[in-house]
Amino acid sequence: MPVKSVTVRVPAKVNLQLSVGPRESDGYHNLVTVFQAISIFDEVTVSFTPAQSGVSISITGEQTHGVPADANNLAVKAVELIAKEYDLNIDAHIEIKKAIPVAGGMAGGSADAAAAIVAIDYLYSLGMTREEMTEVASQLGSDVPFMLSGGTAIGTGHGEQLTAALSRGTYHWVLALSTVGLSTPSVYAECDRLRSESEIAEPQTNELLMQALLAADPKAVGANLINDLQAAACSLRPALRLVLDVGQEYGALGALVSGSGPTVAFLVSDEEAGLDLAVALTASGVVGSVARAYGPVAGAKILS
């Protein structure tokens, strides 16, 4: 009997390093980034719908505002891309249970696309290799390949060319969430506007960060977090500066805007320090809501 439905769990990410080169002629920027997958998960269920033709989608969860529930959703695009490339007629319903902040710089949309690839491969017994999944993923967005693999990885090119990073230990995070997201293209455009050509270096891997990850040294990781998009995210959302300051004042080992923001990620020494910081941030009144997470965790995985 064919499988009727499958649920895939997929994590969020933070960028421990995001070094952005100059804008290229295609509008994209060459990057060197270090991704870490963290323990906030969306669940994506894909079911056969023999009575309905085409792909439909519904979104559930506490925060779903701003998630397209139509063909613009990256998970729908992922299913349609596979249908085209594998010459399949796919009649399916996608249900996304969202926990990853929307437009928060944590790759929520990319994560759902990665989960949809894994789900369709399973439902249709395509037997896709990791390389084939990555090839589809990279056509959907720069962060999608990483959401398949998870763990800790260095991304180059647009962020989609991955090599595993040698990382040891578990890292604890406190995340300051915003209710209103930031658009990734606007943040890159603001980054271009703020920087003069002469100050833009070719991005390089931060060796101090890599050594700190290898040594499982959260203090050194915290001291070497870097995000070239941070100034742009803060320029568009000045309140983020205060959030960064408050978290550091309350003892975070390091702080940075996650990806294109507006989520701010604070690295702490352990779970207890995370709880203390979360309470302090909430009490400070400058943060709407907080979440705690640890990383690295695995990428998109079948649950049932």
- Residue type at position 248: Q
Task: Classify residue 241 as exposed, middle or buried by CB count within 10 Å of its CB (0-12, 13-18, 19+).
Answer: middle
> Is position 276 annotated as part of the catalytic site?
no
181 binds ligand C5P (CB under 6 A): no
Find the helix or strand (DSSP H, E) in which 257 lies. strand 254-257
Q: Which is nearer to ligand C5P, 147 or 278 (CB)?
A: 147
* 187 neighbors 233 (Cβ within 8 angstroms): yes
Paired strand residues for 175? 265, 291
Closest C-alpha among 139, 118, 106 to residue 43: 118
Do the Cβ atoms of 261 and 101 come closer than 8 Å? Answer: no
Active site residue 4: no
The residues in 16-35 that bind ligand C5P, with binding defined as CB under 6 A, are 27-29, 31
Question: Per CB under 6 A, does 143 bind ligand C5P?
Answer: yes
| Binding flag, residue 151, ligand C5P (CB under 6 A) | no
Q: How far apart are CB 159 and ligand C5P at their closest, in Å?
A: 5
CB atoms within 10 A of CB 139: 14
Is 145 an interacting residue with respect to ligand C5P (CB under 6 A)? Answer: no
Type and span of the H or E element at 92: strand 92-98
Please select the residue that binds ligand C5P; options are 104, 141, 222, 254, rule is CB under 6 A. 141
Which residue in the set 149, 184, 206, 258 belongs to the binding site for ligand C5P (CB under 6 A)?
A: 184
Nearer to ligand C5P, 45 or 206 (CB): 206
Out of 22, 66, 185, 251, the residue judged to bind ligand C5P by CB under 6 A: 185
- Half-sphere exposure of residue 285: CA atoms within 13 angstroms, side-chain side: 0
Q: Contact between 48 and ligand C5P (CB under 6 A)? A: no
Nearer to ligand C5P, 161 or 282 (CB): 161
**By CB under 6 A, is residue 236 in contact with ligand C5P?**
no
Phi and psi of 168, rounded to 5°? -120, 155
* The two structure tokens encoding residue 5: 């439905």
178 binds ligand C5P (CB under 6 A): no
Catalytic residues: 13, 143
Residues that bind ligand C5P (CB under 6 A): 27-29, 31, 141-143, 158-159, 184-185, 188
